Structure 1
Amino acid sequence: MKFTMTLPDHFAEMTVKDLLEEEWLVPRKVRHFIRTRKGLLINGEPCHFQSFVHAGDVITISIEASDYPERTILLGDKKQIEVLYEDEHLIIVNKPYGMKTHPNQPDEADTLLNHLAAYLAPAVQPHVVHRLDKETSGAILFAKNPFVLPILGRLLEQKKIYRRYQAVVHGAIKKDLTINKKIGRDRHDRRKRRIDPKGGKPAITHVTVAKQSPNQTMVFCQLDTGRTHQIRVHLASIGHPLIGDPLYSRNPHGRLMLHAYELHLRHPFTDQEIAVQALPGLW
């Protein structure tokens, strides 16, 4: 694999070593291979790891497939893929309702990851950056190579990947609010999560009211954290479970009314602003 990136205008001067280790999170073993093979060029010229790189420099990196061992992914149906954005390093697709993000067993072939693997085959194998519940539809980000995967993971941890969800809940929510309640596993049902003030992990959900009626409210949700079932558990905890929620609503009917409507991020290599909407959404 060979990647060519032009460092963005605001890039701060640093050494090649720091670029690979601190900025791009390249594993030590792969950095060693790049060094011994002279697999990095600056503006087409060989360099040392103590050489400096600057804004506007063109960085070319060559890595071997064996540097990042790949696992086997059964190929699904590429016609299931709706692309919202794609470039050399990443792809954002619109996940249908009722489809798992990735397989849990090696013989599964009907998840979004399987279908995306078929869409990208044979040259590229996709890598999961984050996931959506099976019952949740909408925009989801994948890495197209293992080189960019840890960088996207760090952006997610640093809350630099903005995700906005549409949801429809039971009852009338009168005003915007922020739910800050820790979430942990449900000891009685392994499928579920619950509010756990002592043992749970921090979870923050910002809720904005979009439309309301006496019996239901359409809201936007923005996450500061990414806990499993976070929106579902938080809204149920204030007495407004999602319509159609088979786990947290007493009267589920129809599909789960939760949709990852928007996804924004700055491209880790080009600094380009990427913003997509997964249409048509819930309303």
Structure 2
Amino acid sequence: MADAMAAAAAGESPPLQADYFFGRPWPDLNEGLSYTDTFRGADAETTAALINFYSENYKSSAPLPGWIHRIRNGQITVDGQVVTDPDMILRVGSKLVYHRLAWKEPFAPHLLQVLYEDDDMVALNKPSGLQVLPKGIFQQRTVLAQLQWKEWKMPPSSCSKRKNVQLHPVPVHRLGRGTSGLLLCAKTKLAKVQLASYFAEGAANAEKKRDGTEVGKERKISKFYRALVTGILEHNEDVVTQPIGLVHYPGVAEGLYVACSSGKPAMSKVCVLERLVHQNQTLVQVEIHSGRPHQIRIHLAYIGHPLVA
């Protein structure tokens, strides 16, 4: 209360209440998903049947009978009109939309804890099992959805340029679905740009300092994680600078992120917190100086100590 009175006397906005929980229980089904395409041909006379377009371009989504069923079920529109004839001939430039039916997403926690909040940003304690942004089978059960559903005290447009005001906070970085920890979300576009630039500095510094010298000296934001790994680490500290890249892998459409020489620079500093000799495991702290996908998992496995399942 004293802090709020002092801020008001100085003409500043009082600090917002923090350390509280929010979250709406997930609906049983999500809202489905729409995928938009534009039919393009080599020339104006090019034509193709609707079923050919989907069965040839999206084989991994469904086999031919599956696409026929979706079309006859009224799940596809062409130029805004529902089409149920698989043999309909498409015209160049036609807009196609496939409407995926609603489905029940796997379990995910819905409560989020606010640790800090002001007019520019919100710091959340993200629980394990909750995805940050929509991807794959998790399209609704995400941090972003809960941020959109909550009523926030956003900066008044009279106090800042309207173009800078957002409807709700947005995450400025990601944490893996299975990872718990601090997640920063920006309330304004300016804050989003500034915070994102701080995280980008880590990747830039990792590329410049792959020898591990002066680790973290120029960073404005540091990222620390705790992890339990298999085996007993010999050294108390280890700096890993193995590049991480995306490679083709059978059965995985997007490919897999792995340790590879052709990947992007990445840097992790691993420090031993406790050696659990009887369990043949080690509790470590990992400070990552770049934000490559699955960086902790890949770097720990690279030095011979994969995460405990």
What RMSD in Å do the two structures reach over aligned CA positions?
2.5
1:106, distance to aligned residue in structure 2 (A): 11
**Are 1:91 and 2:154 matched, yes or no?**
no
Q: What is the CA–CA distance in structure 2 between the aligned matches of 1:180 and 1:106, rounded to whole Å?
A: 32
Q: Deviations over 1:208-263 (max 9, x none)?
A: 0000123100000101111010011000111111112xxxxxxxxxxxxxxxxxxx
Pairs within 5 Å for 1:129-278: 129-159=172-202, 160-175=220-235, 176-188=237-249, 189=252, 190=254, 192-197=256-261, 199-214=262-277, 215-244=280-309
1:76, distance to aligned residue in structure 2 (A): 6.2
1:82, distance to aligned residue in structure 2 (A): 0.3
Q: What is the CA–CA distance in structure 2 between the aligned matches of 1:166 and 1:157, rounded to whole Å?
A: 22
1:113, distance to aligned residue in structure 2 (A): 1.4
What is the aligned partner in structure 2 of residue 119 from structure 1?
Answer: 150
Q: What is the CA–CA distance in structure 2 between the aligned matches of 1:207 and 1:105, rounded to whole Å?
A: 31
Q: What is the CA–CA distance in structure 2 between the aligned matches of 1:95 and 1:229, rounded to whole Å?
A: 17
Equivalent residue letter for 1:210: L
2:258 alignment partner, SS class: strand
> Contact 1:76/1:117 (CA < 8 Å) preserved in 2?
no
- Number of residue pairs the alignment of both structures matches: 170
Cα 1:195–1:242 change in 2 (3 A) is same
Unaligned runs of at least 5 residues, structure 2? 1-11, 13-21, 26-109, 155-166, 203-219
Q: What is the CA–CA distance in structure 2 between the aligned matches of 1:174 and 1:106, rounded to whole Å?
A: 40
Cα 1:212–1:150 change in 2 (3 A) is same
Structure whose residues are more often helix by fraction: 2
TM-score (structure 1 length as normaliser): 0.55
> Contact 1:127/1:146 (CA < 8 Å) preserved in 2?
no
1:182, distance to aligned residue in structure 2 (A): 0.4
Cα 1:105–1:125 change in 2 (3 A) is farther
TM-score (structure 2 length as normaliser): 0.51
2:287 alignment partner, SS class: strand
1:187, distance to aligned residue in structure 2 (A): 1.4
Equivalent residue letter for 1:147: L
Q: What is the CA–CA distance in structure 2 between the aligned matches of 1:131 and 1:107, rounded to whole Å?
A: 15
Query: Max radius of gyration: which structure?
Result: 2
Q: What is the CA–CA distance in structure 2 between the aligned matches of 1:101 and 1:146, rounded to whole Å?
A: 19
1:104, distance to aligned residue in structure 2 (A): 3.0
Q: What is the CA–CA distance in structure 2 between the aligned matches of 1:130 and 1:212, rounded to whole Å?
A: 31
1:128, distance to aligned residue in structure 2 (A): 2.0
